């Protein structure tokens, strides 16, 4: 642990999402349940945990000028200087890792955009959309996310939770949200998603419904338990009215998802009467969501766990670039929302009992070159698709673009074709790091990036990156997929500018004015929060408790030292040599991906 030093100031970039014409607000509030789940312990009543996520915030943009509230909080608490995203460095992936403490390959969310033919055989899907989650739950018996979130664990222990997100990631933060009934047919074949349900507005599916409405998604995560009376059964919602989940989504999803309205009718008018309708501007959406948390959901007291997910500076950085005037303004807006949260805690005399975590899901980069991978592969003799018009044919390749990474699904999984695809990528001038489901020379296995999954791609490629500067003098340039143009911002590579994000924690359980130099990551928040609240997780988490930064930390962590190594994979080809590397840090059993890149050298 070192003494506090001023964080270096630099800019960043948010994820580009086209403005939605209308927004719908999704609230999930279930009925009261007052019986503890078997074996659960009540949370520490003297502690609250508040997590504020600045989507896409790079740590080098923290400064006294641009982020005065965060700057002051850092001086009161601990700055985690070597903090990490999980790979892929994307919002839905890191949001799920953050609230489960589990790596992507074991929690079920391995990318923002994936191909799941059991959910939609003709299209890649956005993993967080309500209709997608609903179908995923139907197919898995309620285990679309394979492990419980910390919100669910707090509720089981009779603690109250509030999830308030300005973005659609909010649906993944509490999978108990909107419980409306047990889904009985876990093995049913899901019908294809209709247009508009599979993707957010990114050019392929634009909602046309003019009337925004409320949306609640039935979750089959209710646990049916046998009562002491023997044959009598009852559905327990693990603490359900103890939860509120709010997220902003697309207009028109309510009708197409078929989700019933389980929110009490009186809730929406009271919120809209106080705050007005959900606005269309990115900064205004964040401010609205912040006020919903502090003025409405904290009205009767601060719950055991609160998560506020701000869409900025991610959204503005996608539309401009890290370091642009608009992106800096978005950072300042997020800081103002943080200040409002801290003020609300002070007004409720709860600051001294609350640990506040300010974290980002990932970093950000600027696109140097937009790569039309479908055209390039088709010109090379492959049959590459971004959607299927008819039934997929053997040998066709579905591309699921994620910005700085692309997932390749080969229909039929022909190993000779997969090898040919990999060797083509290895000879390219845009591939950075290549992962494969089956062992293949010159690649890493999916498990080395903790993204192995039964639903995983045959091949996953992170684009190449470099540390040159953008038009605003901000380092971190990448190649990226076809969805955004050069000069705009995006992420999801293995660049250190994408993989390193921010974390600052302050409160009664953290030391003051210090810097933690040990590697840390988004998976570490869940076990740390549960420790603070006195709740024991049902299984060992992949993340670790940040004891070295805590006032009453485990003495055994005092001498923790990280191990860092760089692994290489090499492939000799007729025209040259492909070489890729992956730098990995480890603290105990917890793994952090630092960066990775690759290059083809012609003979």
pLDDT digits (tens, 9 = 90+) for 336-394: 999 999 999 999 999 999 999 999 999 999 999 999 999 999 999 999 999 999 999 99
Residues 169/249, Cβ–Cβ less than 8 Å: no
Q: Which 3 state secondary structure label does DSSP give 309?
A: strand
- pTM of structure: 0.86
The continuous run of DSSP H or E covering 379 comes out as helix 373-379
Spell out where 176-250 has E strands. 223-226, 233-236, 243-250
CATH 2.40.50.140 fits 22-363+500-552, yes or no: no
Residues 499/85, Cβ–Cβ less than 8 Å: yes
Tokens representing 199 are 């993707």
Residues 6+ apart with CB under 8 A from 223: 37, 235, 236, 238
Pairing, β 354-359 against β 78-84? unpaired
Q: pLDDT at residue 218 above 70?
A: no
| Percentage of the chain modeled with pLDDT above 70 | 78
For 131-146, how does the pLDDT look when each residue is reduced to its tens digit (9 = 90+)? Answer: 999 999 999 999 999 9
| pLDDT classification of 241: cutoffs 50, 70, 90 | low
For 434-484, how does the pLDDT look when each residue is reduced to its tens digit (9 = 90+)? Answer: 999 999 999 999 999 999 999 999 999 999 999 999 999 999 999 999 999
Mean pLDDT over the full length of the chain:
83
Place of tokens 């083509």: 424
| pLDDT classification of 327: cutoffs 50, 70, 90 | very high
- C-alpha span between 44 and 237 (Å, rounded): 21
| pLDDT classification of 269: cutoffs 50, 70, 90 | low
Scanning 199-320, the segments in alpha helix (DSSP H) are 253-257, 267-275, 282-291, 314-319
Q: Greater confidence, 565 or 227?
A: 565
DSSP one-letter string for 313-366: THHHHHHS-TT-HHHHHHHHHHHHHHHHHHHHHHHTT-GGGEEEEEE-S---EE
- Rounded to an integer, the average pLDDT of 503-520 is 97
pLDDT at 109: 98
pLDDT at 560: 82
| pLDDT classification of 268: cutoffs 50, 70, 90 | low
Q: pLDDT at residue 258 above 50?
A: no
pLDDT at 477: 98
| Most confident listed range (13-17, 49-53, 239-243) | 49-53
pLDDT at 23: 37
98-102, 279-283, 322-326: which has the minimum mean pLDDT? 279-283
Q: In what order do the strands lie in the sheet with 459-463?
A: 384-385, 397-401, 405-410, 459-463, 431-436, 444-445
Local structure of residue 386 (DSSP, 8 states):
S
Q: pLDDT at residue 250 above 70?
A: no
Place of tokens 């009540």: 42
For 391-424, how does the pLDDT look when each residue is reduced to its tens digit (9 = 90+)? Answer: 999 999 999 999 999 999 999 999 999 999 999 9
Which residue from 284, 95, 129 is spatially nearest to 202, judged by alpha carbons? 129
Q: Greater confidence, 215 or 241?
A: 241
The helix, strand and coil proportions of the chain, stated in percent and rounded to the nearest 5, come to 25, 25, 50
pLDDT at 267: 60
Q: pLDDT at residue 517 above 70?
A: yes
Which residue from 271, 321, 282 is spatially nearest to 477, judged by alpha carbons? 321
Q: pLDDT at residue 561 above 60?
A: yes
DSSP one-letter string for 471-515: TTS-EEEEEE-TTS-TTSEE--SS-HHHHB--EEEESTTB-SSEE
Torsion of CA 523, 3, 585, 455, to 10 degrees: 20
pLDDT at 163: 93
Torsion of CA 106, 110, 580, 472, to 10 degrees: -130
- C-alpha span between 366 and 81 (Å, rounded): 22
Local structure of residue 292 (DSSP, 8 states):
I
pLDDT at 554: 72
Q: pLDDT at residue 27 above 80?
A: no
Name the residue ranges covered by the structural domains of the chain: 22-363+500-552, 369-488+564-602
- Rounded to an integer, the average pLDDT of 76-103 is 98
Q: Is the dihedral angle over the CA atoms 237, 238, 242, 244 positive or is it negative? A: negative
Scanning 33-129, the segments in alpha helix (DSSP H) are 68-76, 91-100, 104-107
Place of tokens 């739950």: 137
Local structure of residue 523 (DSSP, 8 states):
G
302-320 per-residue burial string, b: 16 or more CB within 10 A, e: under 16: bbbbbbbbbbbbbbbbbbb
Q: Greater confidence, 468 or 217?
A: 468
Can you state the angle between helices 282-291 and 267-275, rounded to 10 degrees? 120
Q: pLDDT at residue 87 above 60?
A: yes
pLDDT at 549: 96
pLDDT at 553: 75
- Rounded to an integer, the average pLDDT of 542-568 is 88
Q: pLDDT at residue 238 above 50?
A: no
- Rounded to an integer, the average pLDDT of 530-555 is 93
First to last CA, the chain: 48
Q: pLDDT at residue 31 above 50?
A: no
- Return the number of other C-beta atoms located less than 10 Å from residue 568's C-beta: 11
Q: pLDDT at residue 52 above 80?
A: yes
pLDDT at 46: 84
Residues 138/125, Cβ–Cβ less than 8 Å: no
- Could you give the maximum distance between any two Cα atoms of the chain, in Å? 77
- Rounded to an integer, the average pLDDT of 509-514 is 96
pLDDT at 334: 98
Please state, in angstroms and as integers, the Cα–Cα distance from residue 519 to each residue in 71, 470, 474, 499, 546, following that order. Answer: 21, 27, 24, 12, 10
- C-alpha span between 268 and 253 (Å, rounded): 17
For 484-493, how does the pLDDT look when each residue is reduced to its tens digit (9 = 90+)? Answer: 999 999 999 9
Which residue from 178, 158, 166, 151 is spatially nearest to 96, judged by alpha carbons? 151
Residues 501/522, Cβ–Cβ less than 8 Å: yes
| pLDDT classification of 193: cutoffs 50, 70, 90 | low
- C-alpha span between 547 and 132 (Å, rounded): 38
pLDDT at 233: 36
- C-alpha span between 323 and 484 (Å, rounded): 18
- C-alpha span between 483 and 402 (Å, rounded): 9
Q: pLDDT at residue 562 above 90?
A: yes
Q: pLDDT at residue 515 above 70?
A: yes
Residues 6+ apart with CB under 8 A from 7: 59, 60, 62, 63, 71, 74, 79, 81
Q: pLDDT at residue 525 above 50?
A: yes
pLDDT at 239: 45
Q: pLDDT at residue 44 above 90?
A: no
pLDDT at 176: 59
- Rounded to an integer, the average pLDDT of 215-240 is 35
């Amino acid at each position: 642990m070192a003494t506090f030093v001023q964080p270096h100031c630099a800019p960043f970039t948010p994820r580009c999402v086209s403005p939605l014409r209308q927004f719908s607000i999704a609230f999930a509030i279930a009925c009261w349940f007052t019986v503890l789940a078997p074996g659960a312990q009540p949370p520490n009543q003297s502690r609250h945990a508040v997590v504020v996520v600045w989507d896409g915030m790079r740590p080098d943009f923290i400064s006294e000028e641009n982020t005065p509230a965060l700057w002051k909080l850092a001086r009161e608490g601990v700055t985690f200087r070597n903090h990490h995203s999980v790979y892929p460095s994307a919002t839905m992936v890191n949001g799920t890792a953050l609230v489960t403490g589990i790596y992507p390959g074991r929690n079920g969310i391995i990318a923002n955009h994936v191909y799941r033919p059991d959910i939609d055989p003709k299209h890649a899907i956005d993993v967080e959309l309500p209709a997608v989650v609903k179908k995923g739950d139907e197919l898995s018996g309620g285990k679309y996310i394979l492990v419980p979130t910390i919100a669910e664990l707090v509720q089981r222990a009779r603690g109250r939770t509030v999830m308030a997100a300005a973005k659609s990631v909010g649906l993944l933060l509490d999978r108990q949200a909107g419980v409306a009934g047990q889904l009985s047919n876990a093995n049913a074949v899901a019908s294809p998603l209709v247009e508009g349900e599979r993707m957010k507005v990114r050019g392929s599916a634009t909602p046309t419904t003019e009337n925004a409405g409320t949306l609640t998604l039935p979750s089959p995560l209710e646990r049916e338990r046998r009562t002491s009376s023997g044959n009598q059964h009852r559905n327990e919602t693990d603490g359900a009215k103890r939860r509120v989940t709010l997220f902003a989504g697309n207009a028109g999803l309510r009708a197409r998802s078929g989700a019933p309205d389980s929110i009490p009718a009186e809730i929406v008018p009271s919120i809209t009467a106080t705050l007005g309708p959900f606005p269309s501007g990115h900064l205004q959406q964040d401010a609205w969501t912040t006020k919903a948390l502090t003025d409405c959901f904290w009205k009767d007291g601060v719950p055991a766990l609160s998560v506020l997910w701000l869409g900025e500076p991610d959204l503005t950085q996608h539309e401009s670039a890290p370091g642009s005037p608009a992106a800096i303004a978005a950072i300042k807006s997020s800081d103002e929302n943080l200040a409002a949260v801290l003020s609300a805690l002070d007004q409720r005399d709860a600051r001294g009992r609350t640990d506040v975590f300010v974290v980002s899901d990932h970093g950000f980069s600027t696109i140097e070159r937009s790569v039309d991978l479908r055209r390039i592969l088709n010109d090379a003799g492959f049959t590459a698709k971004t959607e299927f018009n008819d039934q997929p044919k053997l040998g066709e390749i579905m591309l699921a673009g994620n910005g700085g990474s692309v997932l390749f699904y080969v229909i039929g999984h022909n190993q000779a074709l997969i090898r040919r695809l990999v060797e083509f990528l290895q000879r390219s001038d845009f591939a950075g790091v290549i992962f494969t489901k089956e062992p293949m020379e010159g690649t890493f296995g999916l498990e080395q990036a903790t993204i192995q999954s039964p639903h995983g791609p045959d091949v996953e490629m992170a684009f190449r990156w470099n540390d040159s500067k953008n038009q605003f003098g901000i380092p971190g340039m990448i190649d990226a997929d076809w969805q955004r143009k050069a000069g705009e911002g995006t992420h999801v590579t293995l660049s250190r500018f994408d993989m390193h994000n921010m974390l600052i924690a302050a409160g009664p359980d953290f030391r003051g004015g210090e810097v933690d130099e040990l590697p840390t990551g988004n998976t570490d928040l869940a076990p740390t929060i549960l420790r603070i609240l006195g709740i024991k997780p049902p299984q060992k988490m992949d993340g670790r408790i940040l004891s070295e930064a805590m006032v009453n930390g485990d003495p055994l962590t005092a001498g923790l030292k990280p191990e860092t190594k760089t692994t290489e994979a090499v492939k000799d080809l007729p025209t040259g040599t492909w070489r890729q590397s992956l730098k990995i840090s480890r603290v105990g059993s917890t793994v952090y991906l630092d960066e990775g890149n690759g290059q083809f050298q012609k003979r």
